[in-house]
């Protein structure tokens, strides 16, 4: 037989569940959807994988065959930041995938995201989804994720087959290559309840080769491990992105 105390407790639990259901529904309705597309440009034109004829600031011509990178913790910011999406996305220049996130109504002047993977996900075992090692972004001999993987060819490369292989990663201590990217929006973005907004973020490869640091192909065609050169490359990440279109 239930005592009165137990009845009250059970009733409160049921009530709490009902209330939280309503709150959840309310929150979902309140939010707006933001679709983010990623594009790659080089020499002021779209980068086409496999096409030759691109030239960097060091007058080195190059062809890119593969370009993939991880984006996580996407949020919109101003004075109060919209909560960051916990999802991890793998952007692949070979596909035209877009990323969908939820955003709170508000007025925003910034777009914020992380290029790379938070430390904890680098050393907590086998992951799935975007982080599945099947995606070729996990080092098998030196555990951890490659955050930014760019491969191709260049006459300036002294490596075998004149390859370019830049595998940028590192999550431990001084070798951390995760970078926070904060982009200013040209015009404030106003998001209302139930809106569907679209945004295009552009990666300008010209700024990868020459940004805060010089990364010429002749000086470093292969970057395969965390460390000095991976960090130099990572320091160029924040400068290579801009927000092009918001609609």
Partner 1 sequence: MLKLKVILSLFLFAAAFLFIIAAAKDDGFGFYNPTLLQLEIPKGWPKPAINYFAKNKLTEQGFQLGKKLFYDSRLSRDKEVSCASCHQPFGAFATFDHDLSHGVNNSFTSRNAPALMNLAWMTSFHWDGGINHLEVQPLSPLTATNEMGQTLDSVLLMLKADTVYLRMFKAAFGEANINSQRMLRAIAQFTGSLISAGSKYDRVMNGLDTFSNFEKNGYRHFKNNCASCHKEPLFTDNSFRNNGLPLNRFNDAGRQKITGLSSDSLKFKVPSLRNVQLSFPYMHDGRIFSVPQVIDHYISKINIHQPGLDSVLRKPIILTKLQKNELTYFLYTLTDTAFTKSKRFGPDGPVFFKH
Q: Which is nearer to partner 1, 48 or 121 (CB)?
A: 121
Residue 138 in contact with residue 124, Cβ under 8 Å?
no
Distance between CA atoms of residues 116 and 175, nearest Å:
13
Distance between CA atoms of residues 165 and 142, nearest Å:
17
Taking Cα atoms as reference points, which of 144, 116, 111 lies closest to residue 246?
111
Shortest Cβ 91–partner 1 spacing (Å): 21
Distance between CA atoms of residues 95 and 92, nearest Å:
6
Shortest Cβ 6–partner 1 spacing (Å): 10
Distance between CA atoms of residues 107 and 178, nearest Å:
28
Q: Which is nearer to partner 1, 95 or 125 (CB)?
A: 125
Shortest Cβ 7–partner 1 spacing (Å): 6
Shortest Cβ 225–partner 1 spacing (Å): 7
Shortest Cβ 13–partner 1 spacing (Å): 9
Q: Which is nearer to partner 1, 175 or 213 (CB)?
A: 175
Distance between CA atoms of residues 147 and 126, nearest Å:
16
Residue 62 in contact with residue 152, Cβ under 8 Å?
yes
Q: Which is nearer to partner 1, 87 or 195 (CB)?
A: 87
- Per residue, what are the HEC states of 171-216? CCHHHCCCEEEEEEEEEEEEECCCCEEEEEEEEECHHHHECCCECC
Q: Which is nearer to partner 1, 75 or 122 (CB)?
A: 122
Strand bridging mode 146-154 / 88-92: unpaired
Shortest Cβ 170–partner 1 spacing (Å): 10
Distance between CA atoms of residues 96 and 115, nearest Å:
18
Contact positions vs partner 1 (CB under 8 A): 2, 7, 10-11, 14, 122-128, 132-134, 138, 140-144, 175, 225-228
Q: Which is nearer to partner 1, 135 or 200 (CB)?
A: 135
> Residue 96: helix, strand or coil by DSSP?
coil
Taking CA atoms, 133 is separated from 39, 90, 167, 225, in Å, by 24, 12, 15, 17
Shortest Cβ 168–partner 1 spacing (Å): 14
């Amino acid at each position: 037989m239930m005592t009165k105390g137990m009845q009250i407790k059970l009733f409160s639990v049921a009530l709490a569940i009902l209330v939280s259901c309503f709150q959840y529904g309310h929150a979902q309705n309140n939010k707006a959807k933001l679709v983010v597309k990623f594009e790659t440009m080089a020499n002021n034109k779209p980068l086409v994988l496999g096409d030759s004829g691109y030239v960097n600031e060091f007058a080195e011509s190059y062809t890119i065959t593969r370009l993939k990178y991880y984006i996580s913790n996407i949020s919109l910011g101003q004075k109060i930041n919209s909560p960051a999406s916990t999802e991890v996305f793998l952007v692949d220049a070979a596909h035209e995938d877009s990323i969908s996130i939820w955003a709170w109504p508000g007025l925003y002047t910034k777009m914020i995201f992380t290029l790379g993977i938070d430390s904890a996900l680098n050393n907590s075992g086998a992951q799935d989804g975007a982080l599945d090692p099947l995606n070729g972004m996990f080092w098998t001999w030196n555990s951890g994720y490659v955050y930014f993987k760019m491969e191709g060819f260049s006459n300036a490369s002294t490596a075998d087959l004149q390859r370019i292989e830049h595998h940028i990663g590192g999550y431990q201590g001084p070798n951390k290559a995760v970078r926070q990217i904060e982009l200013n929006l040209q015009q404030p973005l106003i998001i209302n309840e139930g809106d569907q907004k679209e945004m295009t973020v552009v990666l300008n490869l010209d700024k990868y080769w020459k940004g805060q640091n010089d990364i010429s192909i002749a000086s470093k065609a292969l970057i395969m491990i965390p460390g000095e050169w991976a960090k130099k490359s990572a320091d160029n990440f924040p400068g290579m992105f801009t927000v092009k279109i918001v609609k």
